[in-house]
Amino acid sequence: MKVSKLVLCLPLFLALPKGSLGQSAPQAGSADPVATVAGQPVSEQELLETLGPQQVMQLRTQEYEAKSKALDSLIRLKLVQAEAKRRGISPEKLIEQEVESKVADPTDGEVEAFFWGQNRAGASFEEVKEQYRASLKQVKLQKARQVYADSLRAKTDVAVLLRPPSVTVAYDPLRVKGDPKAPITIVEFSDFQCPFCKKSEGTLHELLTKYSGRVKLAYLDFPLREIHPQAQSAAEAARCAGEQGKFWEYHDALYADQSKLDGSELLTRARALNLDEKSFQSCLNSGKFKSKVEADLQQGSKVGVAGTPGFFVNGVFLSGARPQADFEKIIDGQLALLGAPHSSQ
């Protein structure tokens, strides 16, 4: 039986169960019980509270990422169908003309490199060469179809209304870098002794430069005291420096050399920044900011932070030292929602 080429292409654009385009799965309301015990209902809210904030945030993020990936595939399919309709040809014909006819068969060199890249120990290349040639051709076709569909997207009005999960995170306006009126706020939960936090400093600097006036950074403490014994005192010291208007200068000095965070070094940094030494030492010795550091830590735990660094970009969670592109994707999406330009020209 001859199978339509479009049917063969569908999985490359769309990874949804058969028949899902014409059906809607019934969904339970949030108030519906998820179980009953001796006639007493167990609510979904009770279930989520049992899981804990970190697991709930992780589940919601995973659900969003799965939906987002499927939506991208569905959008590509719709774009191809719309372009085919505009031209008055079938989607199969469009793909054949614009993609399949332009993708060359893999060379022997490409096939051999592909073969060895698969780590097929014990197999003879000559025996499976044509099999691998066919597989590599499908890989190239899949990429070409995606690139073509994305080129259509660049010329088409596409509005993505799917929103990532977000939470409200309070922050201290006295520990904010950038324009206070910027529409995008990156809230960072960080630890002065954490090497991954230091690694993220360059990324954050680049973001504040690229999105000048559009993005601001708010710093919150999340000292991992079990593994970073000096992180708590460093966090308190930075707040003491903030009392004298130099939180960010002290922040930068701490990250510049994380090997020197003991008491004497904290004071040395204060002297280097020309802080009032007596006031700084008194602040640090009193433990004045211990409870405030703890408040940051507790808030982070409640919103799903389990390690450092943890970021919330207008409430959208990013965990760990992430590439700049991960931040930019969320920032650009949030700016689009607000009708603001993306980045500085």
Tokens at 20, concatenated:
């899902």
Q: What's the average model confidence in pLDDT over 186-191?
A: 98
Looking at domain 173-338, which of 3.30.360.10, 3.40.50.1000, 3.40.30.10, 3.40.50.2300 is its CATH number?
3.40.30.10
Q: How many CB atoms lie within 10 A of CB 277?
A: 11
Per-residue pLDDT tens digits for 136-174: 999 999 999 999 999 999 999 998 888 889 999 999 999
Cβ–Cβ < 8 Å for 97, 83: no
* pLDDT recorded at residue 57: 83
Cβ–Cβ < 8 Å for 14, 262: no
DSSP 116-154: HHTT-TT--HHHHHHHHHHHHHHHHHHHHHHHHHHHHHT
Tokens at 272, concatenated:
């280097």
Q: Does the structure show a pLDDT above 90 at 84? A: yes
In eight-state DSSP terms, residue 307 is S
Model pTM?
Answer: 0.72
Q: Are strands 184-190 and 215-221 parallel, antiparallel or unpaired?
A: parallel
Q: Does the structure show a pLDDT above 90 at 134? A: yes
Residues 310-332, buried b or exposed e (16+ Cβ, 10 A)?
bbbbbbbbbbebeeeeebbebbb
CB burial of residue 286 (10 Å; 0-12, 13-18, 19+): exposed
* pLDDT recorded at residue 320: 94
* pLDDT recorded at residue 7: 38
More confident residue, 263 or 20: 263
* pLDDT recorded at residue 251: 98
Extents of the domains making up the chain: 1-8+52-165, 173-338
More confident residue, 235 or 2: 235
Per-residue pLDDT tens digits for 166-182: 999 999 999 999 999 99
Q: Does the structure show a pLDDT above 80 at 20? A: no
